[in-house]
Amino acid sequence: MEEGEFPKLRFLKLVSLRIVRWTGSGDHLPCLQKLVMERCGKLEELPSCLGYIPTLEKIEVRQCRPFVRSLVHEIGEEQMRGGNEDLKILILEEIEDSSSSDSVDGRYVLL
């Protein structure tokens, strides 16, 4: 992403990405409200700026590697430290990962 490229983007859905590293800064997605990542099997890095976007309301992760889910939890913690206590994180796990907890406090839902 390049600076100023998506100044009004509110919703971003990434499906079946083949990229390994997604990088960017807070200037790239200043109005982002909802992020959905689905079947991003190779993704190993998310932009740290996601932890600082004040408009972010919801992150959904579907059928991604456990590592991506960990990164999303880190983003949620950073958002909370920044005062965004309303961010919702929804993590839909694959069937073979169903041994995980069904829910985690009010901000995180694991299905």
**Top-confidence residue, 49 or 110:** 49
What are the pLDDT digits (tens) for 55-111? Answer: 999 999 998 888 888 899 999 999 999 999 999 999 986 534 333 444 444 455 554
Torsion of CA 89, 49, 62, 73, to 10 degrees: -50
Reported as a pLDDT band with limits 50, 70 and 90, residue 32 is: very high
> How far, in Å, CA of 24 to CA of 68, rounded?
16
Phi, psi of 69 (to 5 degrees): -60, -40
Q: For residues 104 and 88, is the Cβ–Cβ distance under 8 A?
A: no
DSSP reduced 3-state for 70:
helix
Q: For residues 37 and 11, is the Cβ–Cβ distance under 8 A?
A: no
Model pLDDT, residue 25: 64
> How far, in Å, CA of 75 to CA of 78, rounded?
5
Q: For residues 30 and 8, is the Cβ–Cβ distance under 8 A?
A: no
Give the pTM: 0.78
In single-letter form, the type of residue at position 24 comes to: G
